[in-house]
Structure 1
Amino acid sequence: MPITSPFGARSTALEVVRGHDLSGQVALVTGATSGLGVETARALLSAGASVVLGVRDVTRGEALARELAASTGQAAPEVLALDLSSLGSVRAAAETFLARHSRLDLLVNNAGVMATPFGHTEDGFETQFGTNHLGHFVLTGRLLGALRAAPAARVVALSSAGHRLSDVDLTDPQFARRPYDKWLAYGQSKTANALFAVGFTERFGAQGLYANAVHPGGIMTGLQKFLPREEQVRMGWMDEAGNLNPVFKTPEQGAATSVWAAVGDELRGVGGLYLEDAREGLPYDAARPQEGYRPYALDSERAQRLWALSEDLVGERFD
C-alpha cells in the first residue's frame, strides 16, 4: 500500500513538524531566501534544528536569518553562500559547510529555476539542467561524509509535476542537437531530480542514507519570474484580474511535503519515492490529471545511467 500520513494537500509545514524534536540535528536548505525554502527552514528551525540557509544573496539571507530567529524564538540560522549555477561556488560552499559541521542530518535540495530562456551555467551546462540537477548533484556528493556521520540522514529532492513534460534525454541533455524548449528543459530537470533520489537511495541506502523526491504542488513564488503574466493567464494559473487558480497552495502549504519527507516517521528507512500532498505519489492516471508520476521518473535503470552521465559531466565520482 502507498505510504500516507495524517496530513494532506492543505496542511502547512508547521503543522507537519509539530511534535518533532530536531534538537542536535543539522539541516541545510538550498534556495532559502524565498517561497518554499523560507517556510521549510522556518519549520525545521521551529523544531529545534540547527539550520543552514544556502543562498545566492548573502545580504538577503542574513536579513531572513534575523526574521526567522525572531519569528521562531530560536537561534538565528547560519547563512552559506551558494550559487548552484556555478560548480565552483557549490564546491566552495560544501568546503565551508564541512569546516563548520561534522554532520548533516537533513539536506533539502529546494532551490531551482523554471522556464528560463536558453542559456548556460558558468560551467557550460544548459541552465535548468545545470542548476536544478547538476548543482545539487555535486553539493550532495561533496557532503556525503557529513551525511554518513548522521545517524539517519535524509535528502529531499524537490521535483515537480512538471517532470511529466519530459524524460531526461540522456544523449542530449544540453539541447546541443535539438531545438530548445523551456518547458521540456524544465521537465527534464525535474525528472532528473526524481531520478537522483532513486539513484542516491540505491547507492547509499545500505549505509542508512535515503533520498525522496517531492512535488510541492502549485505555488506562486519567485520561480515564475521568467513567465509573463499573459502566459500564466493562458495556462490557467490566474485570471485576467490576477486572481490565482484555487488549486494553488500557499508557500506554507507547499513546504509541507518537503518537511514531511525530512521528518515523517512513516518515511524512516525509505527512499526512492515520489511524494506529493504529504503522501506517496501514485503512477500517473489521466483520470487524475493533477497528480501522479510518470514511470520514467522512478526508473532504476535510467537513474543509474543519469548518475553515470552526471559524474562524467562534472568530472567527479561519488561513492
Structure 2
Amino acid sequence: MQEAVASAYSRDSSAEEIARAVDLTGKLAVITGGAAGLGLETARALALAGADIFIAGRRPQVVAAAAQKLSETGQIVHSAVLDLMSVESVDAFADAVLALERPVDMLIANAGIMACPLQRTAKGIESQFMTNVVGHAVLLSRLARALAQSDDGRFVSLSSTAHHMSPVHFDDIQFERRPYEKWSAYGQSKTGNVLLAVKAAKALGPKGVSCFALHPGMIRTELSRSLDDSDLTQFSSTTAEGQPVADLFKDVPRGASTSVWAATSPALRGKGPLYLEDNKVAELLTKPARYHGVSAYALDPESADRLWTEIETIVERELPL
C-alpha cells in the first residue's frame, strides 16, 4: 500500500490548474457537498475541464444558487437536495443520479460535518458517523454499478489528518458506553472515510474503478462552523517540527486540488486504495501524526470489511458493491 505515484503538482497547485491538464468531455462527476466550499470549487474545476456535474447539498436555496453558478461554465449541471443523516434522502438522491441512465465517472464523497455537539438520528446513530460515513456508504453502494460502467471510474473519499485522532471503535461506535468527545467522534469518522476507499477498492477495483481517500489540507470553510474559541487556539500553536500550524492552511482552490487530482490524473488510473495529500501519495506511518501521513489502521482491509458489516447492520439492509 501507499506505492509512490509520479505527480507534477504540489500543495500549492490549484484545482483549476490540475483540471486544465485533462479533457473530461462526456464524463459525469457526482459530488456530495458540492454547493459550497471545497465541493463547489471541485465541481467548478471539473466543469471547466468539460465534465457534466451533479451536485448535492442540504440547503435547497444554496444548492440552486450553486447550480446556477456552475451552469456559467457551459456544462450540464444537475442538482438535488441530499441529507446524509437520512437513508431515505440518500436513496432519493441516488435514484435521481441513476435516472440519467449514464455511467458515473467520478463519485466524490466530499460532504461532511466536524466536531459537532452530540446529535443522533432517530435510531441512535451519532451524527458525524452517520453523515460522514454511513450516508456515503449507502450512496456508494447505490451508484457502484454506474461507477463500474465507466471506462475510468473513480471513487474519492475525503478524509482528514484528523483520522489520527481515533480509529473506529467497533466496540462502541455510537458512544453508548464511553463519554462523547466531539474530536474523537470526528477522528473516528475520518478513519471510516479511509476505510470506505479500502472497501471500495477491494470490490470495485477489479471492475476498473480506482479508489482513493485523501486529506485536502486545513482550509477555513463552513466545515468549521461548530468550533469554539478553545478549538481555535490549537491553530496558533506549532507542529512537532516547530512549524507554525497557521502556515499549514490552504485557500479553497488549493484545498480542492487533491480531490481533482484523485478524480482525473491519468497516473492514478487503476490505482487504489491509496491515501493522498498535497497532490501526492502520503507517507504510511507506524504511529499517528497530527498533520501529515496516514495511519496503518486506516488502511486495514479487515477493518474495512468489519466497518461495512457494521454499516449494513445500522441501515438494516445489505449494501452490495
TM-score band, normalised by the shorter chain?
over 0.9
1:315 aligns with 2:316: yes
Correspondences of 1:212-251 after superposition (within 5 Å):
212-236=212-236, 245-251=246-252
Determine if contact 1:35/1:221 at 8 Å carries over to the other structure.
Answer: yes
Question: What is residue 36 of structure 1 aligned with on the other side?
Answer: 38
Q: CA deviation at 1:75?
A: 2.8
What is the CA–CA distance in structure 1 between the aligned matches of 2:291 and 2:136, rounded to whole Å? Answer: 27
What is the CA–CA distance in structure 2 between the aligned matches of 1:229 and 1:211, rounded to whole Å? Answer: 36
Aligned with residue 62 of structure 1, among 61, 64, 67:
64
Determine if contact 1:156/1:211 at 8 Å carries over to the other structure.
Answer: yes
Question: Tell me, what secondary structure is at the counterpart of 2:247?
Answer: coil
What amino acid is the match of 1:291?
Answer: H
Q: CA deviation at 1:143?
A: 1.0
Question: Tell me, what secondary structure is at the counterpart of 1:245?
Answer: helix
Question: What is residue 11 of structure 1 aligned with on the other side?
Answer: 13
Where does the alignment leave 5 or more consecutive residues of structure 2 unmatched? 239-244
Determine if contact 2:257/2:279 at 8 Å carries over to the other structure.
Answer: yes
What is the CA–CA distance in structure 2 between the aligned matches of 1:272 and 1:197, rounded to whole Å? Answer: 6
Question: Tell me, what secondary structure is at the counterpart of 2:219?
Answer: coil
What is the CA–CA distance in structure 2 between the aligned matches of 1:40 and 1:257, rounded to whole Å? Answer: 9
Q: CA deviation at 1:301?
A: 1.3
Cα separation, partners in 2 of 1:278 and 1:145, compared to 1, 3 Å:
same
Q: CA deviation at 1:77?
A: 1.7
Question: What is residue 182 of structure 1 aligned with on the other side?
Answer: 182
Question: Tell me, what secondary structure is at the counterpart of 1:100?
Answer: coil
Q: CA deviation at 1:251?
A: 0.7
Q: CA deviation at 1:101?
A: 3.4
Determine if contact 1:18/1:47 at 8 Å carries over to the other structure.
Answer: yes
1:134 aligns with 2:134: yes
1:88-139 per-residue CA deviation (whole Å, 9 max, x = no partner) reads 1001111121112321000000000000101113543100000000000001
Question: What is residue 147 of structure 2 aligned with on the other side?
Answer: 147
What is the CA–CA distance in structure 1 between the aligned matches of 2:95 and 2:123, rounded to whole Å? Answer: 19
Question: What is residue 196 of structure 1 aligned with on the other side?
Answer: 196
Determine if contact 2:81/2:93 at 8 Å carries over to the other structure.
Answer: yes
TM-score, scaled relative to structure 1:
0.93
Determine if contact 1:87/1:123 at 8 Å carries over to the other structure.
Answer: no
Between 7-16 and 100-109, the greater mean CA deviation after superposition: 100-109
1:122-162 per-residue CA deviation (whole Å, 9 max, x = no partner) reads 54310000000000000110112211221221100000000
Cα separation, partners in 2 of 1:287 and 1:139, compared to 1, 3 Å:
closer
Question: What is residue 52 of structure 1 aligned with on the other side?
Answer: 54
Q: CA deviation at 1:303?
A: 1.0
Q: CA deviation at 1:220?
A: 0.3
Q: CA deviation at 1:300?
A: 1.2
Question: What is residue 265 of structure 2 aligned with on the other side?
Answer: 264
1:32-83 per-residue CA deviation (whole Å, 9 max, x = no partner) reads 121100110001100110100111112211111222233xx32352111111
Determine if contact 2:38/2:256 at 8 Å carries over to the other structure.
Answer: yes
Cα separation, partners in 2 of 1:237 and 1:226, compared to 1, 3 Å:
farther
Give me the identity figure in percent: 41
Correspondences of 1:81-160 after superposition (within 5 Å):
81-160=81-160
Question: Tell me, what secondary structure is at the counterpart of 1:85?
Answer: coil
Cα separation, partners in 2 of 1:234 and 1:210, compared to 1, 3 Å:
closer
Cα separation, partners in 2 of 1:122 and 1:40, compared to 1, 3 Å:
farther
What is the CA–CA distance in structure 1 between the aligned matches of 2:148 and 2:42, rounded to whole Å? Answer: 22
What is the CA–CA distance in structure 1 between the aligned matches of 2:10 and 2:51, rounded to whole Å? Answer: 24
Cα separation, partners in 2 of 1:158 and 1:287, compared to 1, 3 Å:
closer
What is the CA–CA distance in structure 2 between the aligned matches of 1:98 and 1:215, rounded to whole Å? Answer: 28
What is the CA–CA distance in structure 2 between the aligned matches of 1:87 and 1:122, rounded to whole Å? Answer: 12
RMSD between superposed Cα atoms in Å: 2.0
What is the CA–CA distance in structure 1 between the aligned matches of 2:211 and 2:122, rounded to whole Å? Answer: 27
Determine if contact 1:26/1:105 at 8 Å carries over to the other structure.
Answer: yes
What is the CA–CA distance in structure 2 between the aligned matches of 1:130 and 1:288, rounded to whole Å? Answer: 25
What amino acid is the match of 2:119?
Answer: G
What is the CA–CA distance in structure 2 between the aligned matches of 1:190 and 1:92, rounded to whole Å? Answer: 25
Question: What is residue 275 of structure 2 aligned with on the other side?
Answer: 274
What is the CA–CA distance in structure 1 between the aligned matches of 2:303 and 2:217, rounded to whole Å? Answer: 25
What is the CA–CA distance in structure 1 between the aligned matches of 2:234 and 2:7, rounded to whole Å? Answer: 35
Cα separation, partners in 2 of 1:122 and 1:152, compared to 1, 3 Å:
farther
Determine if contact 1:65/1:76 at 8 Å carries over to the other structure.
Answer: no
